[in-house]
Structure 1
Amino acid sequence: MKAESEKQIQKAESLELDQSSFGLSALDFPLIIGFDGKRAANNLTGLGNYSRSLIEHLADQFPENEYFVYASKVKSAKQIDTFFKKSNIEFKLPQNGNFLWRSLNILKDLASDEVKIYHGLSHEIPFAIQHSRIKSVVTIHDLIFLRFPRYYKFIDRKIYDWKCKSACKRADKIIAISEKTKADIVEFYGTDPDKIEVIYQSCDDSFKTPFPQTTLSRIRATYKLPDHYILNVGTIEERKNLKLLVQALKGVAEEYKLVVIGKQASYFKTVEKEIEKLGLRSRIVFLQNIPFADLPGIYQMAKVFAYPSFYEGFGIPIIEALFSQIPVIAATGSCLEEAGGPKSLYVNPTDVDGLTAALNKILNNPSLQKEMKEKGLEFVQKFNSPLVTQQLMNCYRNILS
């Protein structure tokens, strides 16, 4: 492995265009920026949406640059096909791919393509990139596997830790998606805080424009949505704490239902038992595999968005709700106050009565609903795409300067 690593370093350096020999700076030219495209090219939720959104906004806001997305395969799906149709976003397959390509051999491709910055969008960058002329950035979304190890299998936890710790050590710059994540990186890895820049996430622009009533009516009919509902979005797993929301629903007027959108993990059985115990089967609707184009409409028709998760790196669903002008209730204890702002309501993630009270406080008070919608929309502008994208480009250029 060591010999292979040294060989790739030599190749990368020999292929890299050294502009300094001509008295020129990388900033004098349009940039070629490379991205770890594993999720962008294959995932339709979560990190896939984050990756595509980040690159798309860069491509739109800074069209003079080229954006190369590196992945060993690509999934055929509307979201992904549309993404790669942009003229300055290019999908890059391995020149000589093997199982080491993403971690090591990609350096040859990056150097050959004259990439100036490589951005690892989810916790890892190629080994030995620090020995090449290619500058590197890594995004760390969270260190939940260290903060709450019980939620992860032992081997997964060890692999995540190894990759994150190594990337944080070798990258030229670390992007944390919240102040809480930055604090966790400093605490667990002893990283110099000056090496970490907090750049928040935005959400897809489709959440930022109200749908026409005809579209909302079509969505309501398609998914048989109740007239009045509380919304929860996210994988149904223990950390997301859906059981607390089910328990709180018992104390809310029966006209209000609960709509849950998300993949069902093994924890779903625990939630089902609680639903049966409380006699709430008729008041809860579970939806899966919702087309992304319809999701903003489901948000926009909700009365409240409730997100009692024990721990998050940031909380994109909260941003989606605020842009959709829906009042938000979230849990204390991680970064959700950063995402939700001062006018959202927060409860301890173990406090059923507190969550019930918060739900009723909003549902029974139209003037509070109006205030939370207006103030929430005002607050969430700090996460709007143009601002976040400019911060990211500033980060890239500062690394090169």
Structure 2
Amino acid sequence: MNIAFDAKRITNNLTGLGNYSRYIVGALAEYYPESNYLLCSPSLGNPHLYDTLLQNRSVSLHTPESGVGKMLGAWWRNYGLKSMLLKEEVDIYHGLSNELPLGLYREKRIGTVVTIHDLAFIRHPEFYKPIDRALYRRKYGASARAADHVIAVSEFTRRDIVDVFGVEPERVSVIYQGCSPRFAQMKPEEIAFARGHYQLPERYILFVGSIEERKNLKLVVQALSLLIDKNIHLIAVGKRTPYCDVVMAEARKRGVAARVRLMHAIPSEHLPGIYGGAEVFVYPSRFEGFGIPLIEALNAGVPVIGATGSCLEEAGGPNSLYTDPDDPDMLAEQIFSVIDDRRLAERMRHEGRIYAQRFNPKQIVRELRTVYENVLLTHD
């Protein structure tokens, strides 16, 4: 089977959808090597992000060949690549980041699959510009309705796709995400390296994710200021946005700025060691499609505190804790319970590792193969 992917995120995005896309292709290449995987990107982007993928004989990169395609990447991504897909006899095209090329909406010679990650722009419109909300609703909705099959990354997102976009339930499957095996295979020396290289404090709470309003890092700062234990710090790793200034202003207001550190552009290979040194991982995001950072923390053996209101309970499982995203007192109590009760923390570590095993790459590949093969049957 020849399977093509929208690889714009693979070649250009360091985190988020880029990590998801690289994980999916890498897992398929390892556990389903008999197929061919074509990465379709409008540019070469940053080769360092995907050079490991290209070491697999089954994976190849395809960029525009014509001058027009090279100059007009968005046009090529939507219309220009169809001729290449037909020439390469592609069986399935998988849009990994919420959309399909417009040129494939009615192309019955190629099966189409799209992954929808979340409908946060509808659930929390206050975090998005009106023009972006309108664009996402139109693009994502049209792609979901045009695709032969839709993959949702959580049951929560699946319900949204059916309810908001009107997609038939039988055309939507939930296939959870996973994370790099590096987190489960982390060694003590990686923790030691991270501590030394980044001069991390002896004891810290960890947050990993884009530092933006929706992720709600300010709540963690507020909870930190309420803790009796004044020796524990907060380390936040993620993309810098204007919300960082809001977070640090809150830290100064509450007298904990010296115990709050925001870190940006951290190489992915250093993340497991940073996770491993944390006493507790806190992720009080108001809305997520799934919550990969929770899976990373569980695999690293770190107790997890998420938030209620979206799908984080699916990612964190029954032995993690969940706070009201508007209640700093509740979060402070939960943090204190984890750092003060060793038996609770150890139980959360142990049960969390067991729960995280359901997101292993072999299971994800089995489920993806089933979707691809069922879609292919409709085009024979």
| Alignment TM-score, normalising by the size of structure 2 | 0.95
Q: Which residue of 1 aligns with 2:20?
A: 50
Query: Which residue of structure 1 lines up, in the alignment, with residue 110 of structure 2?
Result: 134
Aligned residue runs from structure 1 range 201-216, under 5 A: 201-211=177-187, 213-216=188-191
Structure-2 residue corresponding to 1:27: none
Match of 1:310 among 261, 286, 295: 286
Query: 1:361-397: CA deviations, max 9, x gaps?
Result: 1111000111101111111111111111111111111
3-state SS of 1:81 partner: coil
- Alignment partner of 1:174 is 2:150: yes
| In 2, Cα distance between equivalents of 1:362 and 1:157 | 39
Q: Is the 8 A contact 2:6 2:40 kept in 1?
A: yes
Residue 283 of structure 1 pairs with residue 248 of structure 2:
no
Count matched residues: 370
> Residue 61 of structure 1 is aligned with which of 31, 36, 49?
31
Deviation at 1:87, TM superposition (A): 1.2
Q: Which residue of 2 aligns with 1:15?
A: none
Conserved 8 A contact 2:11-2:47:
no
- Structure 2 distance, partners of 1:224, 1:95, is 47
Per the TM alignment, residue 273 of structure 1 is displaced from its structure 2 partner at its CA by 1.4
Tell me the distance in 1 between the aligned counterparts of 2:103 and 2:209: 36
Aligned to 1:314, the other structure's residue is in SS state coil
Equivalent residue for 2:81?
A: 106
What is the match of residue 222 of structure 2?
247
**Structure 1 position 95, deviation (Å):** 3.7
> Which of 265, 273, 288 is 2:241 aligned to?
265
> What does 1:1-400 align with in structure 2 at a 5 Å threshold?
31-96=1-66, 97=69, 98=72, 99-129=74-104, 130-211=106-187, 213-252=188-227, 253-400=229-376
8 Å contact 1:135–1:399 — kept in the other structure?
yes
CA RMSD of aligned residues (A): 1.1
- C-alpha separation between the residues in 1 aligned to 2:130 and 2:260? 34
Q: Structure 1, residues 2-46: CA drift from partner, whole Å, max 9, x if none?
A: xxxxxxxxxxxxxxxxxxxxxxxxxxxxx1100001111121111
SS of 1:206's partner is coil
> Aligned-pair distance for 1:76?
3.1
Larger radius of gyration: 1
Determine if contact 1:95/1:109 at 8 Å carries over to the other structure. no
SS of 1:87's partner is: coil
Deviation, 1:77, is 4.1
- Identity across aligned pairs (percent)? 44
How far the C-alpha of 1:235 sits from its partner, in A, is 1.1
Q: Structure 1 CA distance, aligned partners of 2:61 and 2:81?
A: 14
Q: TM-score, normalised by structure 1?
A: 0.90
The worse-fitting range, judged by mean Cα deviation, of 73-82 and 391-400 is: 73-82
- Unmatched tracts of structure 2, length 5 or more: none
Confirm or deny: 8 A CA contact 2:191 2:272 kept in the other structure: no
Look up the SS of the partner of 2:372 in the other structure: helix
Contact residue 94 and residue 109 of structure 1 kept, 8 A: no
Distance in 2 between the 1:235 and 1:177 partners?
Answer: 19
1:74-107 deviations in whole A, cap 9, x for unaligned?
1234332222222110001124324421112211
Q: Distance in 2 between matches of 1:56 and 1:39?
A: 14
